[in-house]
Amino acid sequence: MGFDNHLPTRRELLVGSGALFAWSQMPRIARAEGRDPRLLVIVLRGALDGLGAVAPVGDPDWISLRGDRALLLDGKPPALPLDAFFALNPAMPNLHRLYRSGKAAIVHAAATPYRERSHFDGQDVLESGFTRPGATASGWLNRALLAMESGGGVDPRGSRALGIGSVTPLVVRGAAPVMTWVPQKLLPASQDTQNRLLDLYQHTDPKLATVLQARMKLASLGGAPGGGDPMSDDPTLMPPGVARVRAYFAEAAGTAARYLAKSDGPRVGAMGFVGWDTHIAEGAASGQLYNLLGALDGAFAAIETNMGEAWKETVVAVVTEFGRTARVNGTEGTDHGTGTVAFLIGGGLTGGRVIADWPGLKPAQLFEDRDLKPTTDLRAVLKGLLRDHLRVDEKVLAETVFPGSADVKPMGGLVG
């Protein structure tokens, strides 16, 4: 365990697994109310296919849009019904159970203000809370906590930050110190990620590209069983790879929950999971996306179990930098898009619903004739959680946490 206060480089953002930041004190107003709320933010790095995660089975254009790749209630395997219009990916039975018990909600057709398709810039906007990339080196959660401290809302004595993973997310970078814990085993980069790294470095760092290419060739010559893409569709490679990913997600999320659950432990955190850039062989009902969502579903179970009694006052928000294309591409994957879903789980939620101002899937209704059109600003969701769960002042949210967002009203009714 040690301290990590450096800014991530591009290569770290590509291969890093994320981190957990946490603050050990809570606003006095929450204490005065007899509450002890926890908030965990999970960033899915690589952009999530919201339509593959939560299918609009009630939309008349759904099947024509995705064809035989469309999740269906009578599909193989069948999607899990949420309401009369939406159904959940069958890889997520834990989330479905939480949803049915009112402890999970889904926000669909959501996005940050970012409208381009760069992972780096999209993650910067998502985590900084600003409307454009490169505007600041601090994150919205860090600024929210510092605002509470400066206003006397938290006791700075004994305040601390805890990190899990190899890279600290921008969302928690700032004046508050960050302490990190790195799991002994990190996930290997997939073949697709390695190829994209190689392409990037051939243009920006030729020497590093040469080293990376040699390492990739050496690994391919090794021929170790299960040594391929951890999200491969190859049945001879998939079981050990999927098991490795599931174990990592559960370990990282479970560790975060154990710290948050401690009576004298942190109360607010953020962490990230990589691997969601599914350009090739995405596989909503089997394959990459299905396996990733299953691993995330296992992480949800680990959080619920390890939070113990604190679960009833916990909220977990799962967000990503943008969505993916509404149509499947020629390599059975999806490319960088816009609108997507945010998952909310926790004992402190008022859940059991999909929150969506549905834009429709006809070609004229798609954003730029290719993406799910965003109709909900993700900042409204995050501001609603910060205001109603952690009691962050609404003016501070509009001016400091998410600067220039006065016209984005916090979403109410998310927590009990």
Band (1; pLDDT cuts 50, 70, 90): very low
Q: In what order do the strands lie in the sheet with 179-181?
A: 2-3, 179-181, 162-164
56 and 66 Cβ atoms separated by less than 8 Å: no
Q: What pLDDT is stored for residue 169 in this prediction? A: 79
Residues in the chain: 416
Q: What pLDDT is stored for residue 151 in this prediction? A: 56
Q: In degrees to the nearest 10, what's the CA dihedral of 300, 230, 286, 289?
A: 60
Taking every pair of Cα atoms in the chain, the longest distance, rounded to a whole number of angstroms, is 62
Q: In what order do the strands lie in the sheet with 80-81?
A: 54-55, 87-88, 80-81
Residue 6's CB is within 10 A of a number of other CB atoms, namely 11
Band (317; pLDDT cuts 50, 70, 90): very high
Band (133; pLDDT cuts 50, 70, 90): very high
At 219-235, the pLDDT tens digits run 443 333 333 443 433 33
- Prediction pTM value: 0.84
Mean pLDDT of 19-34: 62
Write down the CATH number for the domain with range 2-186+246-401. 3.40.720
Q: Where are the domains of the chain?
A: 2-186+246-401
Q: What pLDDT is stored for residue 221 in this prediction? A: 35
Choose among 249, 227, 221, 250: nearest CA to 240. 227
19 and 248 Cβ atoms separated by less than 8 Å: no
* Rounded-to-integer distance, Cα 183 and Cα 17, Å: 10
Three-state SS string across 84-130, please? CCCEECCCCHHHHHHHHCCCEEEEEEEECCCCCCCHHHHHHHHHHCC
Pairing of the two strands 54-55 and 87-88: antiparallel
104 and 370 Cβ atoms separated by less than 8 Å: no
Q: What pLDDT is stored for residue 223 in this prediction? A: 35
**Residues of the chain with pLDDT > 70: what percent?**
72
What mean pLDDT value characterizes the chain? 82
Q: 240-249, 290-299, 385-394, 405-414: lowest mean pLDDT where? A: 240-249
Q: Please identify which residue in the block is written with the tokens 């009694």.
A: 309
Band (11; pLDDT cuts 50, 70, 90): very low
* Rounded-to-integer distance, Cα 59 and Cα 79, Å: 15
